[in-house]
């Protein structure tokens, strides 16, 4: 995850693609690579939906001061997708 502008993300994508190709002889699939704003649209990575919550909450600090906490990273397992895959592969029945 990159904190910055879309232009920064594109620059890093090009650097990563070049590194993978030159040093590791790997090809980055641009059809599977997605640049997204995780506050607006979750990204699916290794079977997990990754997003940033918009929930704002308060917490107490060390000296009992109120602290406003924002932008929590969320990782969610897409259960319907997992169920379908388990049923398709025969590990689970469709009951």
Domain with 21, as residue range(s), is: 1-34
pLDDT tens digit sequence for 78-94: 898 899 999 999 998 88
> DSSP assignment, residue 60?
E
pLDDT at 25 over 90: yes
Paired tokens of 78: 């897409």
Whether residue 89 sits in one domain with residue 46: yes
Whether residue 93 sits in one domain with residue 55: yes
**Tally of CB atoms within 10 A around 13:** 15
Query: How many domains does one find in the chain?
Result: 2
Whether residue 51 sits in one domain with residue 25: no
Whether residue 26 sits in one domain with residue 49: no
Whether residue 49 sits in one domain with residue 30: no
Whether residue 42 sits in one domain with residue 28: no
> Residue 62 contacts by C-beta under 8 Å, 6 or more apart in sequence?
none
Span 4-23, average pLDDT: 93
Q: By the 8 A CB rule, do 15 and 24 touch?
A: no
DSSP H stretches of helix in 1-95: 6-23, 79-88
Whether residue 6 sits in one domain with residue 40: no
């Amino acid at each position: 995850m990159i904190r910055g502008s879309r232009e920064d993300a594109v620059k890093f994508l090009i650097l990563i693609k070049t590194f993978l190709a030159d040093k590791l002889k790997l090809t980055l699939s641009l059809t599977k690579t997605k640049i997204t704003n995780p506050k607006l649209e979750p990204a699916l990575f290794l079977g997990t939906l990754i997003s940033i919550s918009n929930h704002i909450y308060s917490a107490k600090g060390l000296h009992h001061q109120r602290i406003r906490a924002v932008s929590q990273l969320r990782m969610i397992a897409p259960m319907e997708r997992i169920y379908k895959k388990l049923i398709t592969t025969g590990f689970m029945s469709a009951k």
